[in-house]
């Protein structure tokens, strides 16, 4: 059975690799970014969410992407001006509106996604498919845990463990 110190050492190693990954990702973003239609990375993430998950109210979109509503509002305004998103009446509540990708926005998303997939495929060309699938599964699990992590819960658990020792 592993010790707390071994788990903390492993977490430290993971932290180092995550920082390395983020630096490399930032470099790749600058290297391959041509910002079509002036779309920034954050705006692209909003558009991607709407293309993949369908229309949403601005508040629900902000929650879904873990962002501040005022920030989302500014990014949405830019995407609407560019013709990539549109506001539609909410059929459930005529006073509210839903944000949805336009045909132009969906096409841009599809084009950028295909380009990204091509680059990733080339980067991982030497990896066997089963290892690539394992990476997808581990990334999915990591992202889910990051989304669900609540620091106050971890603090409470750590304090409980101390008390039971």
Write down the domain spans for the chain. Answer: 1-32, 37-102
pLDDT (tens, 9 = 90+) of the chain, 165 residues, equals 889 999 999 999 999 999 999 999 888 777 666 666 667 778 888 999 999 999 999 999 999 988 899 999 999 999 999 999 999 998 888 788 999 999 999 999 999 899 889 999 999 999 999 999 999 999 999 999 988 888 866 666 667 667 766
Q: What's domain 37-102's architecture?
A: Orthogonal Bundle (1.10)
pLDDT of residue 103: 97
Can you give the pTM of this predicted structure? Answer: 0.75
pLDDT of residue 40: 77
Question: What tokens appear for 111 in the block?
Answer: 């084009």
CA quadruple 156, 162, 163, 165: dihedral positive or negative? positive
Specify which residues 90 forms β-bridges with: 93
pLDDT of residue 1: 86
pLDDT of residue 157: 66
- Phi/psi of residue 35, each to 5°? 40, 65
pLDDT of residue 11: 94
- Whether residue 58 contacts residue 67, with contact meaning beta carbons closer than 8 Å, is answered with no
pLDDT of residue 52: 95
pLDDT of residue 32: 62
pLDDT of residue 42: 81
The CA radius of gyration of the chain, in Å to the nearest whole number, is 20
């Amino acid at each position: 059975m592993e010790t707390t110190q071994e788990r903390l050492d492993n977490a430290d190693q993971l932290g180092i690799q995550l920082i390395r990954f983020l630096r490399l990702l930032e470099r790749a973003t600058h290297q391959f970014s041509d910002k079509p239609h002036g779309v920034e990375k954050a705006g692209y993430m909003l558009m991607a969410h709407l293309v993949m998950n369908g229309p949403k109210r601005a508040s629900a979109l902000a929650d879904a992407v873990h962002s501040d509503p005022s920030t989302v509002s500014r990014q949405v305004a830019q995407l609407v001006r560019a013709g990539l998103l549109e506001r539609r009446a909410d059929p459930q509540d005529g006073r509210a509106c839903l944000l949805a990708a336009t045909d132009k926005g969906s096409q841009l998303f599809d084009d950028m996604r295909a380009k990204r997939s091509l680059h990733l495929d080339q980067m991982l060309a030497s990896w066997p498919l089963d290892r690539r699938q394992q990476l997808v599964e581990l990334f999915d699990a990591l992202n889910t845990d990051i989304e669900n992590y609540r620091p106050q819960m971890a603090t409470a658990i750590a304090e409980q463990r101390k008390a039971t020792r």
